[in-house]
Structure 1
Amino acid sequence: MTKRFKTGLAATAAALAFVASPALADHHGEAAATEAAVEAVNVDPAIWVVEDEDTTIYLFGTFHAMKAGVEWFNDEVKTSYDAADQVVVELVPPENPAEMQPLIMKYAIDMTGTPLSAELSEEGRAALHATLAQMGAPAQAFDMFKPGFANIALTAGLMPGMGFEEGLGVDKTIIAAANADGKPIHQLETMEEQMAVLTASIPEEEQLAMLEQTLAEIDEMDDTLEAMLAAWKTGDEAHFVELFSEMNDQSEAFYDAMLTNRNAKWAEWIDARMDEPGTVFVAVGAGHLMGNDSVQVMLGEKGIASRRMN
């Protein structure tokens, strides 16, 4: 398995599942859910805390799509959530997928008129058409898209067949809990900002190269996502550090757009929030809280210490 597959496909899928799924449902239908009895497994994903005399901020790394039977909302995670006055997430997705359409037109559609399949190699085009057929979509389904969005949409479309359900995603579960408990929710980004990261911050030739690699290694996607999930369940920082180090080696532009630049903005927000009293539960993709350019590292550079709770 090549390094670019690990970093380009799996990390992108985990980072931007919210963007792709509403658009994908509009274009080729939602995957049918499979009901099966699943034995619950208790896991301990990583959580950190930043605190001073009157402010406590918990930092929890999420997995945007989840398998049934994974029991994570307990122990330190649940205790920290219960203590919070406010919940902060990357993004609160729109309830109505139709709200995505103007953003898809603005950011995801290739206005040059060149079909995406015409930009792919012969091998890539064949793999794309075969994968779309497997998903029950016509061969031209992605021809209007920019390659970065197509990469995300393709990945999100395949994940349900591997048992990963967006509806069970950690972020959505936390948002639903906060709404039920009457906790105020703040989002660190808008949907438009996430769409811009995907399609405007990464050179199109790099987007196309990553899509080609995804298509070349599509049969190994399940193993890659399973390895990521296994690392998340135990808070295995080393796995994510390796993953994102490889991402930086393969495409600095992608790494900066997906991680470094966003982490820097979020660290600034946390720094400012430390000036206000209260307890805050911050839930963002696990990759943002691990590695050499994590939110905690950037907070440390500002003189703000963090510690892992579990």
Structure 2
Amino acid sequence: MRLTRPFRAAASALSMFLALPACAKTPAAQQANAATDADPALWVVRDKDTTIYLFGTIHVLKPGLSWFDEAVKAAFDRSGELVLETVLPDPAAMAGLVRAAGTAKPGTPPLTERIPADKRAAFTAAVTAAGLPGNAFDGFQPWLAATQLSIGPVSKQGYETDNAPESVLTQAAKAAGKPVRGLETPEQQLGYFSSLSDQAQLEMLTSSLDELPKVDTTIGKMVDDWAHGRPDALAAEMNDSLKDSPEVARVLLVDRNKRWAQWIGQRMQQPGTIFIAVGSGHLAGPDSVQAQLARQGIKAKRVKY
């Protein structure tokens, strides 16, 4: 079965830590002067001595959205610690981790020979359009090729990780002397993708090829839903598509949400206030972090602002 939709959810998760050139840039401290107001969704979990904010991010943004204000900024200011999906190492170290996780095993046929025959021309065209030789990705695992082909068009449209909440929040936390930690290590995140079956990875790659012509429209809608605080619409765009690929849904979404909810449940046993920022797709839908918390008897409340 040809999959055309899992790319939408996977690309959001991948782009944060694989847009390596963007990782080398200095995060933007401020948005453009003529900023457009954005009010992304925010939740809170609390008991008598612990408060945990859950903020849904989008991993790449254009400049010009004013989101780090109002309730989001107030929640961040009240928090003593920032928790992200992962904390990135320096770009050189990250590049090494990506190469280690994304290189095909010795003896694996070239990627151009493994792609379905009806997709090979589109694949070669996409690689050469990126300014690379047609065989540049032959030694890659399919998931890494899918990521690299997807990041280029997104970046050309002006979306960058240095405009995204993770970068802005990290800079703000460092300026305020707040510790920053990750729910996962970069090695773990990369491992989730490299552990996918060959079939699932090839489906992700062919899906990416199908989506490339409309990537600007796709991510534009995702950003609009995020900026207007429509997590359910964003989940429908990102996560519902994963129903076509149960393996990808389990590895990239459901299992991670369960682990994060367990971490939050354990953290609730300690006093204090923390600010957790993870991809918005994890905070909506029937398998969301909030749904997993509810199964522990922990209620997350949407912050109205």
- The question of a shared fold, defined as TM-score above 0.5 by the shorter chain, is answered with yes
Shift of 1:9: 1.8
TM-score when normalising by structure 2: 0.91
- Deviating beyond 3 angstroms after TM superposition, the runs of 4 or more aligned structure 1 residues are 3-6
1:52 to 2:47 alignment: yes
Gaps of 5+ in 2: 26-31
Aligned to 2:28: none
User: Residues 4-41 of structure 1: CA distance to partner in whole angstroms, max 9, x if unpaired?
Assistant: 444x222212112233222x789xx99xxxxxx87310
- Structure 1 partner of 2:29: none
- 2 CA distance for matches of 1:150 and 1:234? 32
Shift of 1:283: 0.4
Q: Which amino acid aligns with 1:118?
A: E
Q: Work out whether 1:15 is the aligned partner of 2:22.
A: no
Question: CA contact under 8 A between 1:45 and 1:233: conserved in structure 2?
Answer: yes
**Within 2, Cα distance between the matches of 1:52 and 1:19?**
33
1:221 — aligned with what? 215
Kept in 1: contact 2:85–2:183 (CA 8 A): yes
Count the aligned residue pairs.
Answer: 296
Between 190-199 and 107-116, the greater mean CA deviation after superposition: 107-116
Quote the Cα distance in structure 1 between the aligned partners of 2:143 and 2:254: 18
2:65 is matched with: 70
Over the matched positions of the two proteins, sequence identity in percent amounts to 36
Aligned to 1:289: 283
How far apart are the structure 2 equivalents of 1:12 and 1:144?
21
Q: What CA distance in whole angstroms lies between the structure 1 residues aligned with 2:147 and 2:258? A: 23
Q: Does 1:304 align with 2:302?
A: no
Counterpart Cα distance in 2 of 1:182 and 1:246: 39
Residue type of the alignment partner of 1:78: K
SS at match of 1:16: helix
The 8 Å contact of residues 38 and 68 in structure 1, kept in 2 or not, is answered as no
1:186 Cα deviation (Å)? 1.4
- Contact 1:244/1:255 (8 A) holds in 2: no
Unaligned segments of structure 1, at least 5 residues: 31-36
- 2:59–2:165 CA contact under 8 A, matched in 1: yes
SS at match of 1:91: coil
Q: Cα distance, 1:243 vs. partner? A: 2.9
Matched residue, 1:239: 233
Report the Cα distance in structure 2 between the residues aligned to 1:103 and 1:66, rounded to whole angstroms: 24
Give, in angstroms, the shift of residue 242 of structure 1. 2.0
CA contact (8 A) 2:55 2:280 kept: yes
In structure 2, relative to structure 1, the CA distance for the partners of 1:153 and 1:289 (3 Å cut) is same
Q: In the aligned structure 2, how far is the partner of 1:38 from the partner of 1:115? A: 48
- After the TM superposition, which residues 109-188 of structure 1 pair with which residues of structure 2 at under 5 Å, given as runs? 109-111=103-105, 112-188=107-183
Note the alpha carbon deviations across 1:186-211, whole angstroms, 9 max, x for none. 110101001101111x2111110221
Distance 1:266 1:203 in 2: 24
Task: Give the whole-Å Cα distance in 2 for the aligned partners of 1:99 and 1:245.
Answer: 30
Report if the CA contact (8 A) 1:244-1:291 is conserved.
no
Q: Is residue 2:272 matched to residue 1:278?
A: yes
Retained in 1: the 8 A contact 2:239–2:281? no
What's the CA shift for 1:220?
Answer: 1.1
Amino acid at match of 2:122: A
Worse-superposed segment, 145-154 or 72-81: 145-154
How far residue 101 of structure 1 moved from its aligned partner, in angstroms, is 4.2
| Greater Cα offset, 150-159 or 234-243 | 234-243
Q: Could you say if the C-alpha distance between residues 234 and 25 of structure 1 is closer, same or farther in structure 2, counting changes exceeding 3 Å?
A: closer
Q: Return the offset for 1:130.
A: 1.6
> What is the rounded CA distance, in whole Å, between the counterparts of 1:9 and 1:134 in structure 2?
19
Within 2, Cα distance between the matches of 1:244 and 1:214? 14
* 8 Å Cα contact 1:263/1:295 also seen in 2: yes
Contact 2:153 2:212 in 1 (8 A): no
8 Å contact kept, 2:53–2:75: yes
TM-score for both structures, normalised by structure 1: 0.90
Residue by residue over 1:49-89, the C-alpha shift from the partner in whole angstroms, topping out at 9 and shown as x without a partner, is: 00000000000000111111011100110000000011100
